[in-house]
Amino acid sequence: METILECKKICKRFGKKQILQDVSFKILEGDILAFIGPNGSGKTTTIKLILGLQSIDAGEVVINGFNVEKDFVKAIKRVGAIVENPDIYMYLSGYQNLKLVSDYYKEVMDEDIKRVVSLVGLEDRIHDKVSKYSLGMRQRLGIARALLHNPNLLILDEPTNGLDPEGIKDLRVLLKKLAKDGIGILISSHNLAELESFCNKVCVIQEGKIIESTDVKAFKKEQDQYLFVVSSTEKIDFKNISNVKEDSFYFHGTKEDVAKLVAKLVKMGISIYEVKQIELTLEEAFLRKMGDKKHD
């Protein structure tokens, strides 16, 4: 898959304070990357550097092969973004809002407006005033606007803020569809439970430094904890076990330790019904990485 976005050791300082230090990560076609971290960790600053809204002190941002600072127009050409709340005119209809934006692009035609309206599911309400829209509908209109010029990179800052469960569900379905079509998506959000349901990559930033960038599944795995379900725990008195019940216990160790324990249990005549590596929720894994610091 092609790399759409790559941040290479980007640094940013405001006065004497180092905000970002060697921030590096990438997004490929079809990736939905959860960009998470505590308050003040540098998420919004990173997004602004990617979009060319602030200058980069060191390092580089490359979008579709173009350096944002050296070749801004070409780099940003296929980028759509919503930073905080979508900037929408409430007294106009959804269609009129999209038409205003389309006038900025020579290549955007009425067919493109119809395309994005259908994509976000607003066909029945597109000619209503935005003031009559629900918050979820406004968010979908904002995404439609960001998609008008057919970008292959979509950047969303807190897209689920204020949305009810139905609005969040609609957004989740839409983002999955966009990713399936090859668009790379970066989402900064505090709603980790929701991000877990549709993101395939996660990038964690703390105090301006990336502490982990990996697949969501790998991030959630508790590398040294396993659940054993067995016929009996009556004779079991081993080191590194916890939460012992009549037919199960947790074991802390490496894969090699697990293999040795399995052999030992078999030798003792204890039947093993299941051995499962424990997978945390995204929020649990995040809090462990942060040392249980509260996330934003």
Q: Which residue has the tokens 């439609």?
A: 144
Residue from 147, 157, 175, 182 nearest 4 by CA: 182
Report the range of poorest mean pLDDT among 6-20, 45-59, 145-159, 164-178.
164-178
Q: How confident is the model at residue 34 (pLDDT cuts 50, 70, 90)?
A: very high
Q: What pLDDT digit, counting tens, does each position of 225-250 carry?
A: 899 999 999 888 888 888 899 999 99
C-alpha to C-alpha distance for 246 and 232, rounded to whole angstroms = 6
Q: For 150-184, give one letter per residue: b (16+ CB within 10 A) or e.
A: ebbbbbbbbbbeebeeebbebbbebbbebbeeebb
Q: What pLDDT digit, counting tens, does each position of 197-214 carry?
A: 899 999 999 999 999 999
Q: How high is the pLDDT of residue 294?
A: 47
How distant, in Å, are the alpha carbons of 90, 102, 135, 165, 188 from that of 168?
Answer: 21, 26, 10, 5, 15
What mean pLDDT do residues 177-191 have? 93
In the predicted structure, residue 222 carries a pLDDT above the cut 80? no
35 pairs with which residues across the strands? Answer: 188, 203
C-alpha to C-alpha distance for 46 and 67, rounded to whole angstroms = 15
What mean pLDDT do residues 181-190 have? 93
Average pLDDT, the chain: 90
